[in-house]
Each structure stands twice: as structure tokens, then as C-alpha cells.
Amino acid sequence: MKTVYSPDHACHHPRHEISDGALKAAVEIPSRAEMVLAAVKAAGLGEILPPTPLERAFVERIHEPAYIDFLEGVWDETVAAGRTEEEAFPFVWPTPGLRADRVPTHLDGRMGFYSFDAGTPLTNGTFAAAWSSASVAVTAADLIAAGEGSAFALCRPPGHHAMSARYGGYCFFNNAALAAERLAAGGRRVAILDVDYHHGNGTQAIFFERGDVLFVSIHADPDQEYPYFLGHADEIGEGAGEGANLNLPLPLGSDWATWSKALELALASVERAGPDALVISLGLDPYEGDPISQFKLTTDDFSRLGERLAKAGVPTLFVLEGGYAVEALGANCAAVLTAFEGK
């Protein structure tokens, strides 16, 4: 399996995030991607390729032009405002009862307009890193389009929380959605299976009214876990997308016995859709040792996951999402990918 990787992810290097209502040490940090890269190299997974340049017009199929402009310019605005912190955070949002039909001119208004949480630090190099991450995903999708049976997009920052015009959950561009769009644009039917511990609210929202891309997600119950406001079982899609969205929320503390039952339901739904390509939003945070998550998957369980996904028999693109147990991240990622390859 080929891996697509860019060192430009390291341009996004937050020291802090706002988590549980307080300023904490950031967990979505460059060493995550470096650990995964080292592990895929050590496992001899396959060639490691750089991304090809990403066309803005293609990104605009998923993200609003004004949102792309905002992300591209927000750090200059931050500097121009005289701010000297290493990160910038929003703190006010157009919730129901406030107006969302005008984009404010002030930096804090614009940050709130284009985000949905305070937990996602913007830094000097965020746009460069997020753009490179999106480029990695689309390049890897092109490998599948060219006939590869599998590929690994070593994306950082992650993407599955990003909506068409809102960042949040450490995500800026929706890498998996861009990859799925690239494959769907070639006339393929696409399924996305999101195994990250957190619900992929951005991916769901992007495809909610589309019937050509199935979205299936296994995640912690949003009543008890981030992102809290999406990811329930009654969200089944709308219009042409009705029936093309499946959420499988699980209780905190779920282990492989529980998780793998959800996986079977997820794959039964994928099988019914009969896709030409499968995109896995590969979050490694269902791991028992993850510092911000509360599922109990082991490294061996990640091998079981890889083995099971291979049995689906569909060309499969793995897109890296979350996973914050940095020391174990490489082993867990390699476990999925090498087991998929039957190694």
C-alpha cells in the first residue's frame, strides 16, 4: 500500500488548545504524524509519495470560497490586530437567536462565524498545513482512481469535523470528504466509514443530502461526548440522501466486543450500497490508552479491524483522522494497515 505524506503538516504546531473549558496543552501536534510515518516505514508498508498540488477549484466543490479565503487570511488578520499569542481562538458564535446572515468584519466576529468550537487553535502555519493535508488526501484518492487496491493518506491536521464553511475539532478542510468527492467525481459510488472515536459531523453534514456517497460512523454517544450536537442514530440523511447516513453511537467504555458488533452493522450497510470505493476515516482514538477518549480497543483489535476491512473486498482509501496516544499511534496505525494487506 502506498502512503501519501507531506512534512508541511508541521507548519501547524499549536502549543495550546481550549479543552473542557480551560487552556491546556495541545494534543493535535506534529509528533503524531511523525510517529505514524516512522511506523509505516518500519513496517515496510510501501512507497511514500509527496502530494501533488491541489487545485482550489476542486476544494470549492466541498468548501465555500469565502471560508477558504478566511482560513488563508486569518493569521495575517490576527497579526494586524496586534495579537502576539501563538494561537488564536474564537469565543462568540451566531447560535439560534443571533444573526447568521451577515459576516462581521471584525476578526473575532469572523472567527466565530467560520468556526463551531473554541477548542481548535489557529496558528501561523495552520493554512499551509491544512492545505497540505487536503492535498495528501486528494492525491491518495487519485491513486485509488488510477487502480490501486488501497492507499494511505497520512493526513494532519485531521478533517472529519470540518464543515463546508466551519472549522472545529482540530479540523480545517475535510480531507475524507475531499477524497470521497474526488472518487465520486469519477462516477464511482463511494462509501465513507468513519471509525474515529468522535462523530464525523463535518463529513455527515457535507453529504447529508447526497445519495451518491454513503456515510457510516461508529463513535461515542454524542449525548456524552464531543461534538455533542450531532451523531445520533435518528440522523438518516435528507432528500436524495435519505437512507445514506448511518450513525452507530456507542456508550463510553465500549470494548471490541461491543465495537465489533457495530462494525458488522456498518459493513452490512456498506455492502448493501455496493460501493466502487471505500474511504476509511481512520481515527486511532478508540484505543484504550487514548488520553481524550473512552473506548477500549487494543493494538490487536486494530489488526482485527484491518483484517475485517480487507474482507469487504472494495478498493479502500485510509485517511488519518484523530488518535492522541502519541507513543502508540504508530503501532496502532501500522496494525490496521498491515493487517489489511494480509501481513
Measured CA to CA, the distance from residue 292 to residue 197 in angstroms comes to 10
Q: Answer left, alpha or beta for residue 296, where phi above 0 means left and psi between -120 and 50 means alpha.
A: alpha
Cβ contact 289:257 at 8 Å:
no
Which amino acid would we find at residue 324? Answer: Y
User: What is the closest distance, in whole angstroms, from the C-beta atom of residue 39 to ligand OKP in the complex?
Assistant: 18
Exactly one of 8, 194, 285, 301 binds Zn ion (CB under 5 A); that residue is 285
Q: Establish if 194 lies at the interface with ligand OKP (CB under 6 A).
A: no
Q: Establish if 226 lies at the interface with ligand OKP (CB under 6 A).
A: yes
Please say if 161 is a catalytic residue.
Answer: yes
Between 275 and 283, whose beta carbon lies closer to Zn ion?
Answer: 283
Measured CA to CA, the distance from residue 304 to residue 336 in angstroms comes to 7
Query: What would you report as the CA-atom Rg of the chain, rounded to the nearest whole angstrom?
Result: 19
Part in contact with Zn ion (CB under 5 A); list of ranges 80-88, 94-102, 206-214, 316-324: 316-324
Q: Establish if 70 lies at the interface with Zn ion (CB under 5 A).
A: no
Please classify residue 264 by burial: count the beta carbons closer than 10 Å to its beta carbon, then call 0-12 exposed, 13-18 middle and 19+ buried.
Answer: exposed
Catalytic residue among 161, 198, 199, 219: 161
Exactly one of 198, 210, 296, 304 binds ligand OKP (CB under 6 A); that residue is 198
Q: Establish if 158 lies at the interface with ligand OKP (CB under 6 A).
A: yes
Q: Establish if 170 lies at the interface with ligand OKP (CB under 6 A).
A: yes
Q: What are the C-alpha distances in Å from 155 to residues 19, 73, 122?
A: 22, 22, 17
Between 158 and 315, whose beta carbon lies closer to ligand OKP?
Answer: 158
Cβ contact 1:340 at 8 Å:
yes
Q: Establish if 87 lies at the interface with Zn ion (CB under 5 A).
A: no
Which residues form the catalytic set?
A: 161
Residues in touch with ligand OKP (CB under 6 A): 19-20, 119, 158, 161, 169-170, 196, 198, 226, 283, 285, 292, 321-322
